[in-house]
A and B are shown apart, each in its own frame.
Chain A
Amino acid sequence: MSEQRDPRLQALFAEANESYADNDFTKQVMLLTRKRKIQWYFAIVIAAAVALVVASQFLQPLQTVALLLTDVLSIELIDLGDSPAAWFLTPINNLATVIVILAKGLRTSWRKVQQVSFAN
């Protein structure tokens, strides 16, 4: 079918268009926007209050856990004392490095196992 439209029908659509200069409609729309704005502010206040409560309840225990984890992960594997080598090797001479290497190794092994099982 071509894009040609029925001219009479098109004329009827054009003639049927009405002009609305309705103030009530505009007022209603503006009222709805105001309500939406208030709802938005209310939601922000509620979210902020919830965040505050959660922070006040869980911030202290979370901080304690984080500090404990940091202490455990930074335990030296080999005691090198205060030598320059100790300072130089600090980034890898800790428990966190072992955990990362172990995790990488496990992941690689798991992939290899999967490849073998798929090949079979």
Chain B
Amino acid sequence: MRIAREYYPQCPEALIISLARDGDRDAFEELVKRRQSSIRNLMRRFCSDSSLADDLSQQVFLKLWTNLKTLKNVDAFGGWLKQIALSIWLQHLRKHDALRDADEYEGSEQVTRDNPGKSMDLNTALSVLAPIVRSCVVLSYQEGMSHEEISNVMKMPLGTVKSHIRRGTEKLRRLLAIYREQEDQQHQTMEKLA
């Protein structure tokens, strides 16, 4: 029995994934709708250029469509999709020879409040980090991956991953200091009002 397309938004994701795996294009479309936010956010953290981020996200879903038949365990879909996204990003870095450059870019500009939105501020701050450092930081903070997991997926020594995350975090703290000041001010104002 074929489930009508209108019911797809209410269907559990496991069912949608299974249908898409069997070649149902409508189910795949629903899957793209559901997962586009997480992938596009991830890609926007990886690369500050939003149009490039969207291009890479489209490549992620295209690769997903091509390889979906090989997915055995539907429960592992989330991690699998993340893995595809990371491989597309690393492929992009390799093409642009960015992996060789493990040093951070020069630049100590502090993120200003001229940029509307926290997302844009965060992306601007992340763009100052070297691509490989940025990747480690994003996987840790955005995806909540452990250092060991990052070491495995990035195929880098654990010590290097830890060092990248430490350096990246310190730099981000400096760049995003304005948020700390703002929070402290808000905190002080609240205390005064109380």
Interface: B18 (CB within 8 A): no
- Cβ–Cβ contact B122 & A13, under 8 A: yes
- Cβ–Cβ contact B54 & A18, under 8 A: no
Closest Cβ of chain A to B47, distance in Å, is 15
What 0/1 readout, one digit per residue, does chain A (20-41) give for beta carbons within 8 Å of chain B?
Answer: 1110011011101100100000
With A9-B173, A17-B41 in contact, do A25 and B36 touch (Cβ < 8 Å)?
yes
Which residues of B have CB within 8 Å of A20? 36-37, 40-41
- Cβ–Cβ contact B33 & A26, under 8 A: yes
Q: Which of B40, B119, B141, B146 has the most CB of A within 10 A?
A: B141
Which residues of A have CB within 8 Å of B169? 5-6, 9
- Cβ–Cβ contact A1 & B165, under 8 A: yes
- From A12, A30, A32, A36, B122 is in contact (CB under 8 Å) with A12
Question: Number of A residues whose C-beta is below 8 Å from B?
Answer: 25
CA of A13 to CA of B141, assembled, Å? 7
- Cβ–Cβ contact A29 & B118, under 8 A: no
- Closest residue of chain B to A23, judged by CB? B33
Which residues of A have CB within 8 Å of B28? 30, 33
Within 8 A of A (CB), among B169-186: 169, 172-173, 176, 179-180, 183
Interface: B77 (CB within 8 A): no
Closest Cβ of chain B to A26, distance in Å, is 5
- Cβ–Cβ contact A25 & B40, under 8 A: yes
CA of A17 to CA of B36, assembled, Å? 12
CA of A4 to CA of B83, assembled, Å? 23
- From B25, B41, B140, B173, A33 is in contact (CB under 8 Å) with B25
List residues of B whose CB falls within 8 A of some A CB.
25, 28-29, 32-33, 36-37, 40-41, 45, 54, 57-58, 61-62, 65-66, 117-119, 121-123, 140-142, 146-147, 162-163, 165-166, 169, 172-173, 176, 179-180, 183
